[in-house]
Structure formats: C-alpha cells, structure tokens
Structure 1
Amino acid sequence: MDMFEKEYRKWMDVHVAKRKGERRRKLAEGSNHAEKEMLRHIWWAAFGNFEFLHPEYEITDFFQGQRFLDFVYIRGPIRIVFEIDGYGPHLRDISRRQFCDERVRQMHLTNDNWIVIRIGFDDIKERPRLWIGLLQQMMGRLFGNPEQQLTQVDYLEREVIRFAIRENRAIKLRDLEKLFSFRYRAARTVIDRLVAKQWLIPASGGKERVHSWEVNVNNKQLPL
C-alpha cells in the first residue's frame, strides 16, 4: 500500500466516524473514481496531506434541499468548494433547467462566501501538473507567509526551471504556453515571478524588450 492510499484510508475513516445516518452511509460507500483520482493525482501531489479537507460535505442549497459537495476545504474563515465535473453528466445527461439551476446554486455558494473551484475530469488525467500549480498558487495567496513569498517557489515555477535546465537553452513564453497549456498572460506571470526571485535572468541579446530567459547559474540555491 503506497503512502497516498494509507493516508487516504485514515482520512476517510476519521470522517466516517464523525457522521451519522445518510451522511455516514454516503461517505462509507467511498469516493467515486473521479474524486479519488483528483485526490491522488492533484491534491496529494500538490500538498501531501488532507488537512482541512472534508469529503462529501453536506449543505442546504437554495431550494432548501440537502446537497453534497465533492470536497470542501475549511481553514479559518476561508471556505473552498471543489467539484469534479465529468463531460458526459454535465452536458449530456441533464436538462436545460438542471443546467441553469447548477449555475444558480454556484452563485448562492459564492454569495455565502464560498470559493468555488470546478475541475474537469479530463484534466485530472491529461493536465494534472497544470492544476497542481494552480491550486498551489491559490493556497499560497490565501495562506502563504508574505515574508517568504519572494523566495518560495511553487510547483509550476519549479517545473519551468527544470524544463529550462533540461533544454539547456533560453526559454520563451511560447515554451510555457505549450508545456502548461497557458495563455500569454499566465505564462508571463510565471516568468515575471521567477525573474523577481532571481531564478531566471534575461537571456543575452535582448535590447528594449526581453523575449527569452535563462537559468541564473549564479544562484546557488536553485529549487530542484
């Protein structure tokens, strides 16, 4: 049994023991495949623990009915909802009214100060690195120590540095756009952060505008 499976079972057992009735039965059945895959390939890879995370969290929705959210993260005043969306159920197996009601429910969660994150199941299989980085960035902004933000390197930044070292050349924005399926602005943001932390420096040859960057070999603490 690997470490993820061991900690996952301990985490589920703790939450099952706290619940009763339908809430206990639903949780005892275990997470579905998509939810567990998200935990394994994204959440565990990003954070290595399940602290503050609650599975199958019950709320009263805007119709005054009971509803279960896939996962919620509650830490102090911050409340985050994680929903895993499969392509078929959300675009093929629901009516137009149900589709609209889901958007209304999401807006009610937002009005109740929940942060709502929806992850497509295909991304769990095909682009887990993207979501690992996105979640780490979000958690860093919400809970990170501001005094450490200029030196800490998140998952995406570390992957960019490793990529630049493997390629043994200056990297460009289009490299990040291809590697992480980024758009221009997101790629530029990551590069700017790495330059600010002195992990990357402008490549030689740039004049007024810099179009490529290389690893700062003079930095003796490269985060590999």
Structure 2
Amino acid sequence: MGFTREHDQWLSNHLKQRRGERLDALKRGHGYGNRLFVEQVWWPLAGHFQGLHPEYEVKDWRGRSYFIDILWEVGSTRIAFEVMDFGSHGKERSKYRMDLNRGLFLQSQDCTVLYISLDELKENPSFIQSALRNILYPYLSAGKSANARAERSYSKIERNLMRSAIRHHRVLRPVDAARELELHTMTVIKYCRILVEKGKFRPVARGASQRIICYEYIGTLQSPDLV
C-alpha cells in the first residue's frame, strides 16, 4: 500500500483505541507539521508505521501529562520526534523553557529525543532524512523481515572489512581499507554498501552535501560472523 492509505489506516487505528483527553490530543495535535514529518521523512526511511505512536502521552517530572508529537518504540528503545515550530516555541519564553525541560527529563528516563525544525522540514526535508538515516539505521535494520535476516551470510571480503573496522576503532575508510587489504577502492565501497544492507555497517556522512566519508561497524566484537 502507498503512504496515504497506510497513514490513514495507522491514524484510524489509534483514533479507535483512544478516549477522552488522549483522543482530543490526537485530533488536535496530529496536524500539518506531524503529517509532513511522517510523509517526507519517516515513510521514505522506514516504509511502515510499526511501533510508531502519534501524540503519545507521557508524564513529566511533576506527574503531569503531556503529548510527544511522534514516538517510536522499537524493542526496549523509545525515540521521540518533536516537530518544533518557531511561532509556538521560539516566541514564548516560558513554553520554550518547558519544552527543553521536558526533553531533558525524557532523556533522563532512557528516551532519545530528536528535535525537528518545521521550517527545515518544509524547505529541506532531504537534510533531515539524511541525518536521521544515520541515527536510526541500527534500529531500522533490526526491524527487517525474517527473510532478510535469514539471507545474511558473509563472504571473505566482508569478514575482512568488518575485522579491519574493528582494528581501527570501528571506523573503516574505503581508501585506507583498500590499501590495507590490497583491493580496489570501488570494490571496498561495493562491499561496504552490502554490509550496510546486512546491518553490520552504518554510513557516516559529513558536510552540507552529506557525502559518505567512512563506515562504522555496529556489530558486536565477538560476533560469529567475523570468523
């Protein structure tokens, strides 16, 4: 199914499950900015709405309820996305202060909080998508289908690249790895991309162009895949 149909079904399911203040918060809160985020950033990255909650209710340090714009639960990990509009946050000092305090409190409760500028979302969604791809890749990889996981097998080159990354504090630069392993740089890049797909490497980008400059090994140091 396409985005519109999946989105409408996802939202409808949450509306059916809510009552009272939680229902009102969802009707009021999931507006232009939040929908733009899930359409322009979340959907291209994940392609699903599994574990994603709109206007998610949490308690602050005073025990008072408030609602996170979007919360993603993946395993035991919670990641909050807050779409920030300058008009409602930047011009009211007390609200701005409260928003930052709530974000700090959430992170003290083992919840990662990611702030998204609405202006940037409207004008340059590709930047946000690229940045979040690097942050979320390990979690998105964990959610792949069982069939995809079953297909993970590693060639000699792939194992050598993973071991090389570990020797260099988990960071692998294609040019250096090509020299070390006596391979062509493009061959190294090809297999790095394969390891990204298999959930072992994470691409690291820098600069305004978000050009990939190296890869980070995100597997375990004692993984049997290294042997």
Q: TM-score range by the shorter chain?
A: 0.5 to 0.7
Q: How does 1:34-73 map to 2 (within 5 A)?
A: 34-73=33-72
User: What corresponds to 1:140 in structure 2?
Assistant: 137
Kindly tell me: are residues 30 and 13 of structure 1, through their superposed partners in 2, closer, same or farther at Cα, counting changes over 3 Å? farther
Can you give the 5+ residue segments of structure 1 that lack an aligned partner in the other structure? Answer: 155-159, 161-172, 181-186, 197-224
User: What corresponds to 1:107 in structure 2?
Assistant: 104
Kindly tell me: are residues 178 and 115 of structure 1, through their superposed partners in 2, closer, same or farther at Cα, counting changes over 3 Å? closer
- TM, length-normalised to structure 1: 0.64
Superimposed CA distance per residue, residues 70-103 of structure 1 (whole angstroms, 9 cap, x where no aligned partner): 01001111001000001222111x13x3332322
SS of structure 2 residue aligned to 1:62: coil
Aligned residues: 165
- What is the distance in 2 between the residues matched to 1:70 and 1:178? 27
Q: How does 1:70-219 map to 2 (within 5 A)?
A: 70-92=69-91, 94-95=92-93, 97-142=94-139, 144=141, 150=192, 151-153=194-196, 177-180=207-210, 187=211, 190-193=212-215
Kindly tell me: are residues 74 and 131 of structure 1, through their superposed partners in 2, closer, same or farther at Cα, counting changes over 3 Å? same
Asked whether the equivalents of residues 74 and 139 of structure 2 are also in contact (C-alpha less than 8 Å), the reply is no
Identity %: 25
- TM, length-normalised to structure 2: 0.64
User: What corresponds to 1:221 in structure 2?
Assistant: none
Can you give the 5+ residue segments of structure 2 that lack an aligned partner in the other structure? Answer: 143-148, 155-161, 163-191, 198-202, 218-227
Asked whether the equivalents of residues 46 and 133 of structure 1 are also in contact (C-alpha less than 8 Å), the reply is no
- What is the distance in 1 between the residues matched to 2:141 and 2:16? 31
CA shift for structure 1 position 20: 1.2
